[in-house]
Amino acid sequence: MSAPKAPHPDPASQENEDHLKTQANGITRRGFLKGAGLTAAGTALLDGVYAFSEEAARSENHGVTVIGPEPASIKLNVNGKEHAVNIEPRTTLAEALRNQLGMTGTKVICDRGSCSGCTVWLDKKPVNSCMTLAVDAVGHQVTTIEGISENGSLHPLQAAFVKHDALQCGFCTPGMVMSCAALLESNPNPTENDVRHAIAGNLCRCGTYPRIFSATLEVAGSNRKA
Ligand code: FES
Ligand code: FES
């Protein structure tokens, strides 16, 4: 005799959340996605981002607002300027930046949260933009590699990367710079271990890590003298 079929879970119910919970380790799909959008230092931030999206998703209609599948108009604050973009709800922040706003400095390499090549800042915290929905960036300050230079001059870290030749193919470089610059924002005086930790999720297949450490520590050194 065949085993009775498990009842199909109600998508809106708490049981559905439980259904998504893996029995082996207790991680929910939502929790996994939440974590996957983060780079090494961004854990605290995305709680806020998801709090925003869940709140925005509530309405009088059974607590759910349905957006899409047609494109919807949202406003993103990128590098200090408001931009109106028309996106499908599934659009990632990386796609919105590159395809809608033409900011191609942010690289999409793995497109699955494995390399951090797509790192941008949300409220100065590094996140993987390929794992962050554009709608979740509404109400937050997005900073891209195009936005960290000042008055046409390279950010000190960009200049240090050039000086230390901290790149080969350059694909990982924008993400590396954003992760290291975020570290310097939160800790102007990091140790090499701090730098290692900050780029723990950033992969460089060309193996430029020692030069990235040198570049970042040199900028930290000039911070110390200041
Ligand atoms: S983590 Fe986003 S492109 Fe690899
Ligand atoms: S410089 Fe080529 S992947 Fe890092």
| Best probe residue, ligand 1, of 109, 122, 179, 204 (max atoms within 8 Å of C-beta) | 109
Query: Among residues 122, 141, 134, which one has the least CA distance to residue 46?
Result: 122
Task: Note whether 25-111+125-144 and 156-225 share their fold.
Answer: no
Query: How many whole angstroms from 19 Cα to the centroid of ligand 1?
Result: 28
The pLDDT of residue 212: 98
Fold of the CATH domain 156-225:
DNA polymerase; domain 1 (1.10.150)
The pLDDT of residue 63: 67
- Whether a cis peptide bond, with omega within 30° of 0, leads into 69 is yes
Query: How many whole angstroms from 8 Cα to the centroid of ligand 1?
Result: 34
Predicted TM-score (pTM) of the model is 0.75
Query: How many whole angstroms from 59 Cα to the centroid of ligand 1?
Result: 33
The pLDDT of residue 151: 85
Of the candidate CATH numbers 3.20.20.70, 3.10.20.30, 3.90.1150.10, 2.40.100.10, the domain formed by 25-111+125-144 belongs to 3.10.20.30
Does 122 contact ligand 1 (Cβ within 6 A)? no
Nearest residue by C-alpha to atom 1 in ligand 1:
113
Chain Cα centroid distance, residue 52: 16
**How is the chain split into domains, by residue range?**
25-111+125-144, 156-225
What is the mean pLDDT, run by run of 10 residues, along the chain of 226 residues?
A: 44 45 42 53 44 50 71 95 96 98 98 98 98 96 95 94 98 98 96 97 98 97 68
| Best probe residue, ligand 2, of 205, 211, 213 (max atoms within 8 Å of C-beta) | 205
On whether the CB atoms of residues 144 and 79 are closer than 8 A, the answer is yes
The pLDDT of residue 24: 39
Does 36 contact ligand 1 (Cβ within 6 A)? no
Q: Kindly report the CA angle at 113 between 39 and 105, in degrees rounded to 5?
A: 75
On whether the CB atoms of residues 138 and 75 are closer than 8 A, the answer is yes
Alpha helices in the chain (DSSP H): 14-20, 29-36, 43-57, 93-95, 156-163, 173-186, 192-198, 209-225
